[in-house]
Amino acid sequence: MNKIPLLNHDSKIPLNKQAEDVLRSLIQLPEFSNGSLFPKETDLAQRWSISRNTLRQAINNLVKEGLLERKKRVGTRVTKQKISTNLNNWMSFTHEMESMGLSFKNLLLSVEKIAVDEEVGQSLQIHAETEVICLKRVRSTDENPMVYFESYFHPRIGISENENFEKPLYELLDEQYNVMPVYSQEEIKAVAAVGKIAEILKIKEGEPLLERKRLVLDAARRPIEYNVCYYRSDWFTYSIEIKHSV
C-alpha cells in the first residue's frame, strides 16, 4: 500500500483523473496484472484523502474500458485480456497472432505417421486407416498452454515428417510443396475439457474450451489439411462480422 503514489491535492488536475492515472500505472505491475486484487476502496480513498465517490469515478472509467472488473464481496482486479481471433479472413495461426502483435511459441511439437479414423478420413476424402502425417502442437505466449492443435495432411501432398514445422504452416506448404490453401470450412463449438486434452492444456476436467474443426482446401476444393484445435476459453474468443444483404 505504501508503494502506491499519493495524489497532489494542489494540482489543477481533478482528483478523479489523478486517481485514474495511478490506477492505470498499477494495472501494468506484475502483481496486479497477474490477477491479484487491488487494495480495498476504503483503503485507497483513505490513502488519497478523497471520497469513495471520487474513487469510483476513476474505477468505473477503467471498468468501462474493460481494464478492470469489480465483483461484489470480492473486490477489484485487472481483467484478463482475451485474444480475439477472426473468422472473416483466415490465415495461419502464427500470422494471425503476429498481426495482433503477439508472439507465440511451441511448448510441444510432435510429428508422426498415424492411421486416420472415420472422421478424419471422411474429411480428407480418404479411407479410414489410411496413414497420414499428423502434426501436434501446444502453443502459448508464455509457459502456460493456451491452445492445442492436431493437423492431418492429405497423403497427396507428400509432406515429410522431417520438415521444419517451426515455420508458419501454410507458408511451408506453399514454398515446399506448391500447395496453396484457398478455402477453409470451419466448425466451432463449446466443449468441456476431458482426459488427454485437459491434461495437455493443464486445466481441470469439465472446464470450458472452444473446439474448432477446420478443413482446408486448395483452389480446386481438394482437401489439404484437417485440423482440430482446442482453445482455452479463458484466453480466446472468436469474432465474426456479418454484412446484411439489402
Query: What's the pLDDT tens digit per position in 213-242?
Result: 999 988 888 999 999 999 888 776 666 565
Q: Distance between CA atoms of 156 and 39, rounded to whole angstroms?
A: 60
Q: Assign 48 a pLDDT band (cuts: 50, 70, 90).
A: very high
The per-residue pLDDT for 128 is 93
Which domain-ending residue is among 58, 78, 98?
78
pLDDT at 85 over 50: no
Q: What is the DSSP letter of 67?
A: S
- Does the pTM surpass 0.85? The reply is no
Note whether 88 and 54 are same-domain residues. no
pLDDT at 173 over 70: yes
Note whether 61 and 90 are same-domain residues. no
Between residues 114 and 63, which one has the greater pLDDT?
114
pLDDT at 95 over 80: no
Note whether 88 and 210 are same-domain residues. yes
pLDDT at 73 over 60: yes
41-50, 63-72, 231-240: which is most confident: 41-50
Note whether 106 and 220 are same-domain residues. yes
**Mean pLDDT along residues 13-19:** 91
Q: What is the DSSP letter of 64?
A: H
Decide if 184 contacts 214 (C-beta within 8 A).
yes
Residue 1 covered by a domain: no
Q: How many domains does the chain have?
A: 2
Between residues 123 and 241, which one has the greater pLDDT?
123
Note whether 74 and 88 are same-domain residues. no
Number of other CB atoms surrounding residue 32 within 10 Å: 18
Note whether 74 and 92 are same-domain residues. no
Note whether 51 and 171 are same-domain residues. no
pLDDT at 243 over 50: yes
* CATH number of the domain that residue 33 is part of: 1.10.10.10
Which domain-ending residue is among 61, 78, 95?
78
The boundaries of the domain holding residue 23 are: 15-78
> What is the torsional sign of CA 168, 190, 34, 66?
positive
Number of other CB atoms surrounding residue 198 within 10 Å: 17
* CATH number of the domain that residue 155 is part of: 3.40.1410.10
Q: What is the DSSP letter of 220?
A: T
b/e map of 179-188 (b: 16 or more CB within 10 Å)? bebeeeeeee
Residue 65 covered by a domain: yes
Note whether 29 and 92 are same-domain residues. no
b/e map of 77-114 (b: 16 or more CB within 10 Å)? bbeeeebebeeeebbbbbebbeeeeeebeebeeebeee
Residue 4 covered by a domain: no
Note whether 105 and 220 are same-domain residues. yes
**Mean pLDDT along residues 44-57:** 92
